[in-house]
Structure 1
Amino acid sequence: MPEVTSPYQPGTPCWVDLAAPDQQAAIDFYSDVFGWTGQIGPAETGGYAVCELNGKPVAGIMAAMAMNGQPPPPTVWTTYLASADADATSQAVTGADGTILMPAIDVMTLGRMCIAADPTGAVFGIWQPVDFPGAGIVNEHGALIWNELNTTEPTAASAFYQAAFGIVSEPVEGADNYYALKVNDRPVGGMQPMSEQMPADTPSHWLPYFSVADTDATVAKVTAGGGAALQEPFDMMAGRMAVVTDPQGATFAVINPKPMDAG
């Protein structure tokens, strides 16, 4: 079981969460699709649900609530990048022409977080862990396996993430216009230009990938549960994948990864 036993290096995607208009319906949907367990949390956490897989935290689901007269947040998955100091990272974000959408706040004794956007408009979170490091299990059925930046301006995005987080982007051999995002020379995510298949008004965004044992069977569960397939299952260099939406409109990808080459 690929449990996470060491801290996430700064710049590494460490957590994902979803803001959904109907929180309980979202918990039920993902529990059915991925085998998660979760329940609406206590009032002091705003009802935030930490969903688990095999007893380990795997993702968060919260109610999409309007705050301070603002409209409710969009129904999207948010990728969080690890930070050793959320306030310093916030300053680095603004210094690299990014935007802080929600200033850094303490989340009880769990950690410190903020929400930001890169210069191309992709929204992401920053997580400075204290008692809660992030996802406790990855890279197996129902768990996060990859985070991908789809951006309108790869050059600007590459410069931003290197300046703000030290993330280095390198072209992937054999994959046209696809870049590996590396922390300490280890791939932690990917980046590509916005696909022409996406609607013209689609903003730059981070897309989470969840590992599955059977892509086609998982997509069948998604559609049976009221979701939809944006890209039907297809084979590519990393495995068999699909891009789907849940019943409330949040987009995510699923992939049955090819076995890693030994040696």
Structure 2
Amino acid sequence: MPLIDAPLVNRPVWFDLSTSDLTAAKALYGELFDWNFYDAGPDFGHYTMAHTPNGRSAAAIAPKMPGQEQSPVVWTVYWGTSDIEATVARIEGNGGRLMFPPMDIPDTGRMAIAFDPEGAAFGLWQARPFGGAGIEGEHGAMCWSEVNCRDGAKNGAFYAAVFDLDVHKMDAPGVVYHTLHPKSGGDPVCGVLQMDAQWGEIQPAWMPYFAVADLDTANAVWAKHGGKNIAGPIPSPYGRIMVVQDPQGAYLSYMAG
């Protein structure tokens, strides 16, 4: 599966979880994805890096930041950028807004958190020198992400303008789905799923996807730790997908080819 050895831009590059129970989250995700953990310590808010068994960075888990104790438990999807200030300007110029302005993470990079026009939160990451995930598509690694929104064409156009991408509408019966592609062509970098009436009052949000080697084994681990199954297995051309919620409330998807 693809190893990532240089910073990538204009596509999702990193996932992290802000949780109310770091110990429980490490137990669940460590067993689910066979992750090894490295806690950066109190000076960095116990931001805990997760690595695949081959030592590649996969994602991170951290307790909520001081003052954010009442905020939802969420996975955040971060987009890579080579110029975070310029990207922020495009976000604000296309109808988005900032939650947190760009800030330095010493010896690592620069980050910001923003909202798209529908209110879905996403992150920005500028490598200095840490680029994000070091592998994708294998067990325990990121494999896809998509934003769930009310107007897929409009929201897709927002991300295309911010990150210099093209929007393609998929021919998918029963669902309105767009993919975002580099202007030079090639594989899509993420998806835009238009929510219908069945979603009720669920708010627009980004959904991270992780690969697992075996769906039945993953489902058994999820149940063992008290996780909730929201939907699935959902068949797709790329594998079977589970949409789940962890015991602290964070949504994510995992899938097996």
TM range (shorter): over 0.9
1:211 Cα deviation from its structure 2 partner: 0.7
CA contact (8 A) 1:158 1:169 kept: yes
- Partner of 2:82, secondary structure, is coil
Percent identical residues: 36
SS, match of residue 201 in structure 1: coil
1:197–1:39: structure 2 CA closer, same or farther, 3 Å change rule? Answer: farther
Code of the residue aligned with 1:128 in structure 2: it is Q
Give me the whole-angstrom Cα distance separating, in 2, the residues matched to 1:196 and 1:223.
28
| Residue 30 (structure 1) aligns with | 29
| Map of 1:190 onto structure 2 | 191
Counterpart residue number, 1:108: 106
Q: Name the count of aligned residue pairs.
A: 253
Task: Quote the residue 1:236 is aligned against.
Answer: 236
Q: What are the Cα deviations for residues 126-178 of structure 1, in whole angstroms up to 9, with x where unaligned?
A: 00111100000110011100001111121221221122111222012345411
Are 2:15 and 1:16 aligned?
Answer: yes
8 Å CA contact 1:78–1:206 kept in 2: the answer is: yes
In structure 2, list runs of 5 or more residues that go unmatched.
none
Q: Is the 2:152–2:178 contact (alpha carbons within 8 Å) kept by the matching residues of 1? A: no
> Cα gap change, 1:71/1:38 in structure 2, threshold over 3 Å: closer, same or farther?
closer
Q: Residue 6 of structure 1 corresponds to which residue in structure 2?
A: 6
Query: Residue 11 of structure 2 contacts residue 189 of structure 2 at CA under 8 Å; is this kept in 1?
Result: yes
Q: Tell me if the contact between 1:110 and 1:132 (Cα under 8 Å) persists in the aligned partners.
A: yes
Letter in 1 for 2:120: A
Residues 66-124 of structure 1: CA distance to partner in whole angstroms, max 9, x if unpaired? 42xx6533101000001011111111110111010000000002111100000011100
The offset of 1:3, in angstroms, is 1.6
- Quote the RMSD (CA, aligned, Å): 1.6
Q: Which of 139-148 and 227-236 deviates more? A: 227-236
Matches within 5 A, 1:86-125: 86-125=84-123
Once residues 50 and 95 of structure 2 are traced to their aligned partners in structure 1, the CA distance between those partners, rounded to angstroms, is: 34
Q: 1:255 aligned to 2:255?
A: yes
**TM value normalised by structure 1:** 0.91
Amino acid at match of 1:22: D
1:39 Cα offset (Å):
4.0
- Where 2:207 maps in the other structure, the secondary structure is strand
Asked if structure 2 preserves the Cα contact closer than 8 Å seen for 1:57 and 1:137, the reply is yes
Equivalent residue for 2:141, pick from 140, 143, 150: 143
Determine the C-alpha separation between the residues in 2 that align with 1:29 and 1:71.
Answer: 21
Deviation >6 Å, runs of 4+: none
What TM-score does the superposition give when structure 2 sets the normalisation length? 0.93
